[in-house]
Amino acid sequence: MRLPFYVTFFILLSASLLSYAKPPVSQARESVVASRVAASSSSQQQDLREQNLLLKQQVKLLEDSHDSILATTHWALGGVFTMAFLLAGFSWLNNNKLYSADKQRLKEELEANISKAIADLQLSEQDQRGNLFLAVDKKLEVQNVRLDDSVSAIRTVIDDFRKQESGRRDELLRSVESRIESLIGRTSGEISEVRSRNEELRSRIDSLSEKLGALQDVLSSNSSRIDKELQQGAAIAREIEEHIWKLKKIPSNILITQLQGLSASLAADDEWGVKRVLARMKSTINDEFVSSGLKIQKRMKGLFEDSLAQAQKIVAVEASEVLQLILDNLEEDAEP
């Protein structure tokens, strides 16, 4: 490679440039000393001015020398880095070409090896398939021969069995026919006996049905009578409860209890009981509400209307009077 040569060349070039760039400091100092000796007779003020000028010239010379050194260094470094970059790029291009060539060569070799392996596998597969087919064909031939032998043996056995069973079947049919005839004779007698028993059972069932109907009628009449008695008992219980609320002096509960007693009397279809309850309700409204100025709660209106509507079917006059009293003494709607 030519890299060491280029590096050496740039080092020598930078050294020569640095040597030429040195400022003439010694000459400037000699001229300054001479000027000082020649002007020794001047005044102190002139000396100070010259010293000031001398210092300025020295500073300027130093700045110029520093700038030249920096410029030379920058150029040298720029050249070195440029050359290094160019060399690196050239090396990368060469390596890239070599890498691409190697990669293409390896790819071609790999493809060739794969193609060869596939061809070998196909050949071996064909050989194995042919051998397998031959083995299967041989086994099938052997199995077919064995199957034919087995079928022929089974056929001979079946023929022998048919010959033996033909005689037995005739004998069996004769015995079965004789048994069937005997069973038919027995069955006919049993059937006639069963029919007679069925007729007897039907007559018994009819009589039992008649008795059951009569019993149901009796039970229904007793049930209605019992229900009526229960409702009458409930009406009596409500009347007793009514006296309890009277003792406690709660008019609204008295009226509700009388309403429940009215419902019980209506359910028992007891006209006398309905009249008694209506009379007590009329007395309660007049004594407990009208005389004292109390009002019946408006939410109870629907209950009274339903029960009194049923009572009007039995005692229209009394029920209408009680309903009118209730409507007259209901609570008024609150003003908005």
105-151 confidence digits (pLDDT tens): 888 888 888 888 888 887 877 777 777 777 767 777 777 677 677 66
Residue 289 belongs to some domain of the structure: yes
Domain boundary among 80, 113, 146: 113
Overall residue count recorded for the chain in this entry? 336
Give this prediction's pTM.
0.36
Give the long-range contacts of residues 11-19, CB within 8 A, separation 24 or more.
13/76, 13/79, 14/72, 14/73, 14/76, 17/72, 17/75, 17/76, 18/69, 18/72
CB 261 within 8 A of CB 274: no
Residue 19 belongs to some domain of the structure: yes
Nearest to 254 by CA among 233, 234, 283, 291: 283
| DSSP single-letter state for residue 296 | B
- Tokens 């409204």 sit on residue: 285
Reading the block at residue 288, the tokens are 């407990």
Degrees, nearest 5: CA angle 191-197-200: 145
Reading the block at residue 136, the tokens are 């299967």
- Classified as helix, coil or strand, 22 is coil
Domain boundary among 56, 80, 113: 113
How far, in Å, CA of 229 to CA of 309, rounded? Answer: 23
Residue 164 belongs to some domain of the structure: no
Strand partners, 296: 330
Q: Which domain holds residue 286?
A: 249-328
Cβ count within 10 A of residue 230: 13
Residue 214 belongs to some domain of the structure: no
Domain boundary among 58, 81, 113: 113
Degrees, nearest 5: CA angle 98-102-103: 115
Residue 107 belongs to some domain of the structure: yes
Backbone angles phi, psi at 291, to 5 degrees: -70, -35
What DSSP assignment string belongs to 136-197? HHHHHHHHHHHHHHHHHHHHHHHHHHHHHHHHHHHHHHHHHHHHHHHHHHHHHHHHHHHHHH
Please report, in angstroms and rounded to a whole number, the separation of the first and last CA atoms in the chain: 115
Residue 322 belongs to some domain of the structure: yes
The pLDDT value recorded for residue 35 is: 56
- Classified as helix, coil or strand, 1 is coil
Reading the block at residue 124, the tokens are 């071996």
Nearest to 21 by CA among 59, 79, 61, 78: 61
Q: Extract the residue ranges of the chain whose pLDDT is less than 50.
A: 1-2, 18-28, 30, 32-33, 37, 334-336
Residue 137 belongs to some domain of the structure: no
Residue 335 belongs to some domain of the structure: no
Count of domains forming the chain = 2
Reading the block at residue 222, the tokens are 């007793």
Over residues 39-90, the pLDDT tens digits come to 555 677 777 888 888 888 888 888 888 888 888 888 888 888 888 888 888 8
Degrees, nearest 5: CA angle 160-163-164: 90
The pLDDT value recorded for residue 91 is: 79
The pLDDT value recorded for residue 86 is: 87
Nearest to 329 by CA among 298, 308, 283: 298
